[in-house]
């Protein structure tokens, strides 16, 4: 979690497993694409940095964050992946829509993690402002996409243990 005390992109590379034999699916929301594309860049670069081959990274786009759960389920059922990362960005507005979307995606990803024997990694930004999102998509607080990729690699290693 990004706070003033912890940058999303801070990690000890010695604790990150090598992913050269692994396949990672990424589902990315097209909504708030100026943010989500930066998250995708962080995730892909990090996966490659730790050995995941470019042709072993499978990327699917969905229209919005609420559709991330279905996109992840689709990847789990139709692609032989070792983990799925979901990337999206919901920025709070004037209506309760923010709460419904965030809760729906959170519950959906939790359900997928309890249903499938493949980790699904939560890379959804839930911010109050665009500025907060930018800070977490390669800004001063790092990149949630990087954090999600590190988490995916560690969870794959745990799953294969």
Question: What residue ranges do the domains of the chain occupy?
Answer: 21-160
Mean pLDDT in consecutive groups of 10 residues from the start of the chain, 161 residues: 59 87 97 96 97 97 96 96 97 80 91 96 94 91 94 96 88
Residue 37 CA to its chain's centroid (Å): 11
Assigned CATH topology for domain 21-160: Rossmann fold (3.40.50)
- In the block, tokens 């689709």 appear at 74
- Predicted structure pTM score: 0.92
For 84, the 3-state DSSP assignment is strand
68: nearest Cα among 98, 112, 105, 116:
105
Residue 72's nearest CA partner among 38, 121, 128 is 121
Q: How many CA atoms lie within 13 A of 85 on its CB side?
A: 33
Catalytic residue numbers, as ranges: 97
pLDDT of residue 89: 95
Residue with tokens 């419904």: 100
Q: How far apart are CA 69 and CA 33, in angstroms?
A: 18
């Amino acid at each position: 979690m990004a706070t003033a005390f912890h940058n999303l992109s801070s990690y000890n590379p010695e604790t990150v497993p090598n992913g050269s034999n692994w396949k990672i699916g990424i589902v990315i929301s097209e909504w708030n694409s100026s943010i989500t594309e930066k998250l995708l860049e962080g995730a892909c670069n990090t996966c490659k940095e730790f050995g995941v081959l470019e042709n072993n990274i499978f990327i699917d786009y969905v229209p919005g964050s609420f559709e991330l759960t279905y996109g992840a389920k689709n990847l789990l059922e139709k692609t032989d992946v070792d983990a799925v990362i979901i990337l999206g960005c919901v920025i709070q507005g004037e209506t309760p829509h923010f709460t419904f979307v965030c809760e729906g995606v959170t519950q959906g990803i939790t359900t997928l993690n309890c249903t499938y024997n493949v980790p699904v990694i939560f890379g959804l930004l839930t911010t109050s402002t665009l500025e907060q999102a930018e800070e977490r998509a390669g800004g001063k607080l790092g990149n949630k996409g990087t954090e999600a990729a590190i988490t995916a690699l560690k969870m794959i290693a745990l799953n294969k243990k």
